[in-house]
Amino acid sequence: MGRSNTFMQAGNENREVSIGGRGNSDTVWAWLNTDNGGGSNCAVRVRAEVSGDRSLNGKPRKTCHNCNRKWVDSETDLIACPSCGSDRQGVDTRRTDFTVELPEANDYCSVTIREHGAALADLARIGAMFVGVQVAEAAMAGDMQTAENKLAALEGVLEGVESALHNLPEVTLPGGVSMRHALACVEIVRRLRNGENKN
């Protein structure tokens, strides 16, 4: 992306545009607006902001630029000087914060939050369905070895995709509750409802 820390790409059925990549920009935002049966301006606002410093040629300095303290090999993961607290020059301390402003309540509007890679999971499930048909066909033809091999491969693919979707980023829901905490509470209620005894 060049010097810019942010980049945006947007489009519809007729046009696609890109913003960023040339100037030095730390912020990008988008307003996605719709008209529907509940009225106009059913919209979502998304903002991304990058803060922190970019690394200097990927090589951290050997001494603190503020107090001249020397860094030792065991401190390669530190991004701040233990003596004076200054950020270590040459270390990439950038982080990205996304803010999503939800639309107003509207009976004709809904919002779905999907995990990163969810589209890949959907494709995997469709593929799993086709493999399932192949397993059934092999079993009906009496070729149990082929059926078992395909079934084992199918289980491995689905397990890999499903486990990858559990690696959720830090998401704060309205009310200040983290999404991981909210999902954990939902899981506890589900287990209580199903009568599962879990410590």
Q: What pLDDT digit, counting tens, does each position of 82-119 carry?
A: 889 887 777 777 889 999 999 988 889 888 887 776 66
Distances (CA, A) of 28 to 49, 99, 108, 176: 7, 11, 28, 23
30-68: pLDDT as tens digits: 999 998 898 878 899 999 999 887 775 566 777 887 898
Query: pLDDT per residue over 125-144, tens digit each?
Result: 666 677 777 777 877 888 88
- Beginning with the edge strand found earlier in the chain, give each strand of the sheet holding 39-51 in spatial order: 27-36, 39-51, 95-101
* Whole-Å CA distances, 78 to 40, 60, 67, 89: 50, 11, 16, 11
- Pair 87, 46: CB distance under 8 Å: no
For the stretch 159-171, pLDDT in tens is: 665 565 566 778 8
> For residues 54 and 49, what is the distance between their CA atoms, to the nearest angstrom?
14
Looking at per-residue pLDDT, the higher value among 22 and 189 belongs to: 189
- For residue 197, pLDDT over 70 is answered with no
What dihedral do alpha carbons 67, 72, 76, 80 form, nearest 10°?
A: -20
Site of tokens 């079934």: 151
Q: Are 47 and 103 in contact (CB under 8 A)?
A: no
